[in-house]
Amino acid sequence: MQSLRQLYGEIRGFRWSGFKVLFNESLLCGKLLYQKDFKNKLLNRKETELIRSNSQALKKMIGVGAVVALPFVGNFFLIVCIKYPRELLTTHFWSDEDYVRYIKMESIERRDGANLLLQAIPKATNIVGLKLQQIVDLAQSCNTLTTNKYLHGLGHSHSIFTNKKMLNFVFTHFPPFILHHLLNSRIRDIVSDDALLYEEVIKGKSELDHKELLLISVRRSLPILDDTIVMMQNLKIYLEMVHNLQQRGTHAQHTSALLPMIALLPIINDKKLE
């Protein structure tokens, strides 16, 4: 009886307004795409990211809706979705408390991926300049990834799948080129966002709010903190470092995605820039 009461409380407390939020967001994205395609409007970073995330959310929710629509099975699956919103639903259905909690959980998981990655590469030097050069060399050879451990570390660090068991299953049963494709797609998104962030934060001197910084930081394996000022400083150091590497002629398609996972945090702590 107590379990039923608890389930009833979870159903009542569930953020059903997420459907309305997702619908309104989809309408806004449709308007932005119309302006981009037919009026040649140049979209900013937030608008670009909104369109991308909305597209992914719609795909996910269409899949969930298809299962929920099934007789008998659908009712049970809906309850499972309410119990596991992080794995099965989009951020539109998370409360503010859920959002912060899930971001922190994801940050820990991505750090685990960074440790896996460190085990798959040669021992890094403690000298900042040489460390950066080693990262650049690794990033430039990223197109010829061969070891499963290396791919596995990148997969965790970039959270291709939220559920670790799913990621482990894919690594066991899927060929490496599929994982390589998924990783490259995720890395391209990060690199594209880095360029837009540099224009907005460094050149435009814009300040971001804490909720937005949480999402930006966890995608780059930067520290998740309660102090917005420190998180903003860490992001600026990261963007400056990536930009400097690009200015040196480095092919940074993968470099910016590898930097925070391998060597950025010690450099941030020392407040050193190359």
| Structure confidence by residue, pLDDT tens digits, 193-223 | 888 899 999 999 899 999 999 988 888 778 7
Contact 155, 167 (CB under 8 A): yes
**Cα–Cα dist 219/159, whole Å:** 8
Q: Which long-range contacts (CB under 8 A, 24 or more apart) does 185-192 make?
A: 186/158, 186/160, 186/257, 187/158, 187/253, 187/254, 187/257, 188/253, 189/52, 190/158, 190/219, 190/220, 190/256, 190/257, 191/252, 191/253, 191/254, 191/256, 191/257, 192/48
User: pTM to 2 decimals?
Assistant: 0.75
| Structure confidence by residue, pLDDT tens digits, 45-66 | 889 889 989 998 999 999 999 9
Per-residue pLDDT of the chain (274 residues; tens, 9 = 90+): 667 777 677 777 788 999 999 999 999 999 999 998 888 888 888 898 899 899 989 999 999 999 999 988 888 998 889 888 888 899 999 988 889 998 888 888 777 776 666 666 665 555 555 555 565 565 555 555 445 666 667 676 666 666 667 777 777 777 767 777 777 777 777 778 888 899 999 999 899 999 999 988 888 778 788 899 989 988 888 888 777 766 665 554 555 555 544 444 444 444 443 4
Give one DSSP letter per residue of 177-203, joined into a string. Answer: HHHHHHHHHHHHHHHHHHHHHIIIIII
The 3-state DSSP class for residue 58 equals helix
For the chain, the domains span: 2-94, 98-270
